[in-house]
Amino acid sequence: MLSIKTTSLFFELTCIYLRAMKTTDKKIELKGFTLAELQDYCISIGEPKFRASQLFNWIYNHICFDFNEMQNLSKELRGKLDDNCNLRTLNLVTTQNSHSTGTKKFLFETHDKHKIESVLIPEKERSTLCISTQVGCPLDCKFCATGLMGYKRNLTAGEVVDQYLLTAKENGKEKITNIVYMGMGEPLLNFTTTLKSAEIFTHELTKGLSRTRITVSTSGIPHKIKELADSGLRVKLAFSLHSAFEDFRSKIMPINKKYSLKENVEALKYYSQKTKTRITFEYTMLKDLNDTDDDVKAITKLCAKFPSKINVIPFNSIKHMNPGGISAELEPTPYDEILRFVDKLRSNNITVMVRETQGDDIAAACGQLAVKMK
């Protein structure tokens, strides 16, 4: 009979063996590979380069999650890919529909049990998917539910692309025409992933999504804005302004203490010149705090620096998070006041759009995305 000591040693050795198996068993996450990366991978396993375009087509256009369905690949290659690679990064847990606007919120789970959200906003002539780049966000903006929930980790390129692929599959015939990086997290703090996913979305082989329909939104990381401009990707850039005054911006967006508005304005000018695009300023309206005549003047001055437009967003309540500090004091500017503010900006020759609140009945509106952290 084995002694207790020998049994526990045996148990421990078994655990070590199983852990080692798991490490060697780790599959390559092919989802999120760009065409160039797929080409490198094909060459590394002794396959011709053109296989990469076939894989690209199956993964991103046919939205195929099973190598065995890739009919123009040999049985042997399909088996090899199946043994070594993985095509599913997220599981769709639930979807929620907003009855008032038709907005849909998708809750996904990652392999390490984190929850993230994407939001699909159907409109008359387009259907916009709002995707996340991080689990939570480290930047702690005082008006944002994601900021209040804290930060866990960056998402992988596969996890970002899968939000689109799983939603597109779920959505069936209703085609997604626009992708905005405005879900959970700061895309420019997950720069490589943002770049890789945007490259996949805008690639000429990715049918159905054209390069003008991708928008990256940032709270302002100037050197990354410049790097994005130099990347050659022609995505639209939105900048979360919320105040044209350094002091107040720092109060509601702590990142402004590290990267001032002044530095960001210089980077945005660079982006606009280099990409020949107009920058969108996002402006969430907070009652008595950023909706005064002085704000109109400061925004007007700012908009004169490079081609831009303003996207005014009614403040979406974050009361469901029970916030403290300044967050608890924030109130939305009443709608008629918003319209008066917009009129004043327009009379200064500024292009202004007012974004309609979408899906606040299911906490899917801008800045309302937050899920419980483990």
List the interface residues with ligand SF4, window 205-264 (CB under 6 A). 219, 240
Q: How many residues bind ligand SF4 (CB under 6 A)?
A: 12
Each residue 188-227 as x (binds ligand SAH by CB under 6 A) or -, in order, gives -----------------------------xxx--------
Between the alpha carbon of residue 103 and those of residues 173, 226, 353, the distances in Å are: 16, 33, 20
Q: Are strands 214-218 and 178-181 parallel, antiparallel or unpaired?
A: parallel
Q: How many residues bind ligand SAH (CB under 6 A)?
A: 16
Residue nearest to ligand SF4 (CB): 147
Of the candidates 300, 212, 308, which has an alpha carbon nearest to the alpha carbon of residue 269? 308
Helix (H, G, I), strand (E, B) or coil at 53: helix
Part of the chain binding ligand SAH (CB under 6 A), chosen from 11-19, 26-34, 111-119, 314-322 = 314-322
> In one letter, which amino acid is 354?
V
Residue-wise DSSP of 292-324 = SHHHHHHHHHHHTSSSEEEEEEEPPP-GGG---
Of 55, 64, 87, 137, the one binding ligand SF4 by CB under 6 A: 137
Residue 262 structure tokens: 């002044």
Of 185, 314, 323, 332, the one binding ligand SF4 by CB under 6 A: 185
> In one letter, which amino acid is 134?
Q
Looking at 29, 47, 117, 159, which residue is catalytic?
117
316 binds ligand SF4 (CB under 6 A): no
Quick one: 21 exposed, middle or buried, by C-beta within 10 A (0-12, 13-18, 19+)?
A: exposed
Q: Which is nearer to ligand SAH, 38 or 221 (CB)?
A: 221
Residue 177 structure tokens: 């025409």
* Distance from C-alpha of 125 to C-alpha of 123, rounded to nearest angstrom: 6
Residue nearest to ligand SAH (CB): 367
Which of ligand SF4, ligand SAH, none has residue 98 at its interface (CB below 5 to 8 Å by kind)? none
Q: What is the DSSP letter of 155?
A: P
Of the candidates 59, 370, 90, which has an alpha carbon nearest to the alpha carbon of residue 207? 59
Examine the residue annotation and report whether 366 is marked as an active-site residue of this protein: yes
List the interface residues with ligand SAH, window 170-189 (CB under 6 A). 182, 186
Each residue 138-157 as x (binds ligand SF4 by CB under 6 A) or -, in order, gives -xxx--x-xx----------
Which of ligand SF4, ligand SAH, none has residue 323 at its interface (CB below 5 to 8 Å by kind)? none
Q: Dihedral sign, CA of 55, 57, 63, 69? A: negative
Q: What is the DSSP letter of 361?
A: G
Of 128, 315, 338, 341, the one binding ligand SAH by CB under 6 A: 315
Runs of H (alpha helix) within 132-254: 145-148, 157-171, 191-202, 222-230, 246-252
Which of ligand SF4, ligand SAH, none has residue 332 at its interface (CB below 5 to 8 Å by kind)? none
Minimum CB–partner distance for residue 197 and ligand SAH (Å): 14
Which of ligand SF4, ligand SAH, none has residue 64 at its interface (CB below 5 to 8 Å by kind)? none
Q: What is the DSSP letter of 286?
A: B
Chain positions contacting ligand SAH, by CB under 6 A = 143-144, 182, 186, 217-219, 240, 282, 284, 313, 315-316, 318, 366-367
Could you give the residue numbers annotated as active site? 117, 366
Chain positions contacting ligand SF4, by CB under 6 A = 137, 139-141, 144, 146-147, 185-186, 219, 240, 367
